[in-house]
Amino acid sequence: MDPNLLFWKSEGQSFFSRIKIWVNILDPTSLLSSDAKIERAHGLLRGGQKLDDWNEEAVTLSLSSVHADSGDVLPLMLRPAAFLSASAPLVVASFLPHTNVKYALLWQFFLQSYQTRFTLANRNSSSEKSKKLSSRQLLLSAGTVCYATCAGSLPQIMIYKLGVSSEVIKAVLRTMLPIPLSAAVAFISVYTVRSEESQTGIQVFDSNGNLVGLSKAAGHKAVKETALSRAALFGTTAAVPSLLITLLWRTRVIQKSSVLIAPLRYMSVAMGFGLMIPVSFSLFPQLSTIKKENVEKNLQEAACEGLLYYHRGL
């Protein structure tokens, strides 16, 4: 078992401990480290030392930059630490009330393309023999980007293509509809892009880190958990500005200066997204568990314990 997973097994089983770990992992200063330094840090963890003797800086650098299945250094912009800086401008832009459907589609395309690539880079790849993406994965990814781009732009498309003139209906389409829509698009996108894990299975381990085999049930559970966490991230991000503006609308300052609503809305989108990233990443353990009776029969016979462990991915 990779040392990154061993760390998650030891330190990341409670929700609040995971949040603390993710806050450290998401520190953007780790992006300044060279690949050579990252590989040295990961090599230190592989050195056979006890967990208590691990260097905290090396642990954080390894967790933030090295894939737990392949052991390879992740591309710079696809590391967790780059997720906020790369996604936040795209998320804010996608919530803008565009004057043209083309602009709405363009920003959604950029956002969904990055999200799909991030999901692929941080998936569970333990059952894959080749580091190259399969033709099926490429087709699913391309289809997901196209579908998510259109679905994410649905409010703008409805307003302009249907000629909606009512300000009340426009407000509902721009503030209320994006909440369930963003959550659903995020869930389906992750579920589709990583569907191969449910088809081929992922590696499961016993409590000592020994490989037991490949489990499709564990793959399905890993994909589902990650999809739910991503849905929570984007659904909450869409809900925060609407709730905030509703509360602030009662204040005299906002009533007198309605021009402040737009900047406050988009600032709240960025802040809500940034705060929700460590929370959503922490909803489920990175080294999750599945009961022995829920995996395939051949694995039940091979397993000696009631719980098996697997890498959830991100």
Predicted confidence (pLDDT) at residue 144 exceeds the cutoff of 60: yes
- 16 found inside a domain: no
pLDDT at 255: 64
Q: CA 225 → CA 133, 181, 285, distances in Å?
A: 22, 19, 9
Identify which of 120, 289, 297, 128 has the alpha carbon closest to the alpha carbon of residue 204: 289
Distance CA 177, CA 105 (A): 17
Residue 68, classed as helix, strand or coil, is coil
pLDDT at 116: 96
Amino acid found at 253: V
Measured CA angle at 51 (ends 45, 53), to 5 deg: 85
Predicted confidence (pLDDT) at residue 233 exceeds the cutoff of 80: yes
**Percent of the chain's residues with pLDDT above 70:** 94
- 55 found inside a domain: no
Query: Which residue segment(s) compose the domain that 86 sits in?
Result: 77-311
Mean per-residue pLDDT, 59-68: 91
Predicted confidence (pLDDT) at residue 4 exceeds the cutoff of 60: yes
CA 45 from chain centre, in angstroms, equals 25
> What are the helix and strand counts (H, E) for the chain?
15, 4
pLDDT at 302: 81
pLDDT at 5: 83
User: Where does the pLDDT of residue 122 fall: very low under 50, low under 70, confident under 90, or very high at 90 and above?
Assistant: very high
Residue 88, classed as helix, strand or coil, is helix
User: Where does the pLDDT of residue 169 fall: very low under 50, low under 70, confident under 90, or very high at 90 and above?
Assistant: confident
- 151 found inside a domain: yes
**Do 149 and 94 contact (CB within 8 A), yes or no?**
no
Distance CA 280, CA 277 (A): 5
Mean per-residue pLDDT, 116-142: 88
pLDDT at 231: 97
- 244 found inside a domain: yes
What is the model's pTM? Answer: 0.92
Q: CA 184 → CA 35, 121, 167, 250, distances in Å?
A: 36, 21, 25, 31
Identify which of 241, 298, 238, 296 has the alpha carbon closest to the alpha carbon of residue 264: 241
End-to-end CA distance of the chain: 18
User: Where does the pLDDT of residue 258 fall: very low under 50, low under 70, confident under 90, or very high at 90 and above?
Assistant: low
- 1 found inside a domain: no
pLDDT at 95: 87
- What is the domain count for the chain? 1
**Percent of the chain's residues with pLDDT above 90:** 57
Q: What is the DSSP letter of 99?
A: S
- pLDDT higher at 3 or 191: 191
Q: CA 279 → CA 234, 235, 283, distances in Å?
A: 12, 13, 6
Distance CA 91, CA 105 (A): 13
User: Where does the pLDDT of residue 265 fall: very low under 50, low under 70, confident under 90, or very high at 90 and above?
Assistant: confident
Predicted confidence (pLDDT) at residue 33 exceeds the cutoff of 70: yes
- 60 found inside a domain: no
Q: CA 25 → CA 6, 73, 226, distances in Å?
A: 16, 14, 18
- 295 found inside a domain: yes
Buried b (16+ CB within 10 A) or exposed e, 82-121: bbbebbbebbbbbbbebeeeeebbbbbbbbbbbbbbbbbb
- 103 found inside a domain: yes
Report residue 118 as tokens: 């991030």
- pLDDT higher at 53 or 68: 68
